[in-house]
Amino acid sequence: MAKPKPLHPPGSDGQMLAALKRYNGGRVLVFVMGAFAEMSEDVSRICDIIAHDLARTHVSYYNDDAKRTKGMYRKRIQKAWGHTAHRGWARLLLDRTRTRTRTNTFPDGTEANAAG
């Protein structure tokens, strides 16, 4: 089977990379939430961007302080995301507990009594 012909000259940026470089200086923000409620460093920046946009819309309708309004939205977002992360962690713990109590063995086959 023939190799597909590249859509752009070798060594140059393709359309996707060129579009990404126009946004946020080429830096892609990634939202990652782990099983133990840990989050990527970009989560804080994403939260700030969302809170800023919500505050801008809010202030355009109401005569409120922009900085306080942004803080209010940021706190709401952080609270919601924090609860979501910790619910995921709690679910992991519950699933492990259910697995251990139902079968009395761990997924790797070791006995629960042998583990202590």
pLDDT in tens, 57-99: 999 899 888 899 999 999 999 999 989 888 888 888 888 887 7
- pLDDT at position 33 is 85
* pLDDT > 70: percent of the chain: 81
Give the helix/strand (H/E) hosting 101: helix 66-103
Average pLDDT score, the chain: 82
**Residue 14 pLDDT more than 60?**
yes
* b/e map 15-54, b = 16+ CB within 10 Å: eeeeeeeeeeeeeeeeeeeeeebebeeebeebbeeebeeb
pTM (2 d.p.): 0.63
pLDDT number for residue 116: 47
- pLDDT recorded at residue 17: 79
What confidence tier does 115 reach under pLDDT thresholds 50, 70, 90? very low
